Structure 1
């Protein structure tokens, strides 16, 4: 029998990197289904083997049974293949974060995060998100063009999350840039992670000396009594989990509204269409398309494949959302349906308060932009837009637009 991580035993495995995956992952998911069904063998950067779960029911099953599909990467059977400088190492390395915790430890730490986020006043967050959106638009509205990815979609979540952490806009921007570098999995990913941990450690020390009304202080003072070695990495997790998907949710929604005639009415201020666009993006172009991961606690059959103890399973959120058994496409889907797996499922899913805060930020970002720049349109053809080189996040490299210049509001 071949070893679990013998790449020769998977000659038809799909590579989750390279131009085809970046440009048309939906086509790759269709090919995977045709060849393997709902669970497909894949290769990560460096031809590291894994399984990608793209069936909706199969992924729901994985996420519902942590006793079989466990979270801790200490179970992985392929660590001997992983060099110290592997670009995806920050996504799997055995750090003491809530992401890799299991059982009671996970419930304790996840509870502290959820409570700290729930402590934010949603009315104040909505008001601040609107003001922050206006300030960012003021920075480019007197020109006739802008890159909405760099100048707006990537910055608005960072500014609002920075406020929730008690940071000023400049420091929030720096942390957001480091988080993007880490998640993209390039040569500087490990260094970016180290910078984030160092910076968050300094922030925790400052809040211990002088607490405030912010997420960091609430986590420090939570009854869970988190130690610094738990607090610091968990705060990096919360920041990344908040910034990256929210940025791409906002950018992908703007892209949809600027390229799809069904949403043209939104450009004249139809609020219902904005909400429908947010939901459609989660089904059809979900920001977190794949996620690392789960590790088989024992040999198990899943979707017609034999998964060996210690095998890595990737959560194919985008693939599962597009599973033709439950989603027949935009024209047939009811966009009030929120059964998407974009926020995962089960005990490790994105906390409900985080989902609510992300929706507040994205809704404000879309509505304020369309109010301020009602004739905004793409500066290039839709087919000229390029996607980020990340197997995990689905988002644009740039979103260039043109519009009629308007005066800044100021005074916000």
Structure 2
């Protein structure tokens, strides 16, 4: 089918290029400029000349996420398929028609959710917290005697994948390479497609291993669901769970620590004891949420959104970070660190939001890691001026490429091996 057959729409005149140094250096100012110049729905151009709409208004985000019939998460509707090369590096993040919890809509999405959500709900939060405490201690033991560390590579990135690996029953030795493949895939560079295939290979081996020898783990509970799924469906659902759980949790930890070290309000909140840590982490989701842009929704028919005409099959990107900082709602959430306002879009919203058990798992991993880190290294400080910190190149994920710190060296406590 050709682009014309599918209602192909070219890039809009004046479309904003989605990428480049401004997305890394100062995305919030960029979103404010977009809002002033283009309104709440912005015509954007993805690498390769691919058109899309970026939703940055809070009210418009509610409209899209609360209208699954009009804006389904059905990538097969995309009017660009005839214009997308097979090696397009953003395909792993934007998606392809495949049977999974993430890339299906309606009854098919609910079928996958009915299998995945009970498996996530079965996770014992107290056991997960114990595992995360031990993992965090083991990671900190690896650098605590030096007095210096690069917290992204040595703590924030390995902690979630190790914790998720324990839940999934993944062999420990596969954790580092699994984390690398997900990071490269999300950054959307030239190696993204290859990293996506390697990520898939990890999940294929895991499904085969658990089919041969089930255990007390999340994958085995998915496989035990009464209605059978194909191996492809199990693999795709595990990829969705693992990528969403690792990438966002890693950046949630990194962004929380960065704000603590660069913003006096967060320093006071995160340093004020464990009761205030969850409140501060909630405000991080408002101010510096780990997912900047989420793909996507596709218009089921011609419609209007904001002041823009959306054509059937157009791709809508959810600007979660921009919507959370929309000036129209800031007056209601300015004291979020104290009130615990949870009306943010950090986990998306509506029928296709991140399942609540997955949100709880992410919070346990991130909060436990930060608590252990601050208990062990209370005088943590940046090793470089704040303006020298750089963000990851991905326009989709909002996190730090590195977070170098200094602290008073302390002895190792001997986390489990």
Change (3 A) 1:328 1:22: farther
Q: Is residue 254 of structure 1 aligned with residue 252 of structure 2? A: no
**Counterparts of residues 113-128 of structure 1 (less than 5 Å):** 113-128=116-131
Residues of 2 paired with 1:321 and 1:97: CA distance? 28
C-alpha displacement of 1:276:
2.4
Name the counterpart of 1:361.
365
Name the counterpart of 1:227.
230
**Counterparts of residues 2-401 of structure 1 (less than 5 Å):** 4-7=8-11, 10-91=12-93, 92-265=95-268, 268=271, 270-328=273-331, 331-333=334-336, 335-401=339-405
Equivalent position SS for 1:162: helix
Residues of 2 paired with 1:12 and 1:411: CA distance? 54
Q: TM-score if structure 1 supplies the norm length?
A: 0.96
Contact 1:292 1:313 in 2 (8 A): yes
Q: Deviations over 1:37-86 (max 9, x none)?
A: 11110111122110001111111111111111111111111122211211
Residues of 2 paired with 1:260 and 1:170: CA distance? 37
Which runs of at least 4 in structure 1 moved beyond 6 Å after TM superposition?
none
Residues of 1 paired with 2:281 and 2:335: CA distance? 17
C-alpha displacement of 1:169:
2.8
Residues of 2 paired with 1:61 and 1:114: CA distance? 25
Residues of 2 paired with 1:278 and 1:215: CA distance? 26
Q: Deviations over 1:316-364 (max 9, x none)?
A: 1011111111114975545510000110111111010110011001111
Q: Deviations over 1:304-324 (max 9, x none)?
A: 110000100001101111111
Equivalent position SS for 2:327: coil
C-alpha displacement of 1:289:
0.9
C-alpha displacement of 1:24:
1.1
C-alpha displacement of 1:177:
1.1
Q: Deviations over 1:106-140 (max 9, x none)?
A: 11101211111111111000111011100000000
C-alpha displacement of 1:268:
4.9
| Number of residue pairs aligned between Structure 1 and Structure 2 | 409
Residues of 1 paired with 2:56 and 2:269: CA distance? 32
Contact 1:257 1:264 in 2 (8 A): yes
Residues of 2 paired with 1:297 and 1:263: CA distance? 42
Residues of 1 paired with 2:374 and 2:40: CA distance? 39
Equivalent position SS for 1:393: coil
Equivalent position SS for 1:87: coil
Residues of 2 paired with 1:244 and 1:126: CA distance? 19
Q: TM-score if structure 2 supplies the norm length?
A: 0.95
C-alpha displacement of 1:411:
5.2
Change (3 A) 1:407 1:154: same
Change (3 A) 1:320 1:224: farther
Name which of structure 1's ranges 122-131 and 76-85 shifts more when overlaid on structure 2: 76-85
Residues of 2 paired with 1:401 and 1:75: CA distance? 46
C-alpha displacement of 1:224:
3.2
Residues of 1 paired with 2:69 and 2:171: CA distance? 42
Contact 2:270 2:276 in 1 (8 A): no
Contact 1:75 1:310 in 2 (8 A): yes
Contact 2:269 2:280 in 1 (8 A): no
Unpaired stretches in structure 1, ≥5 consecutive residues? none
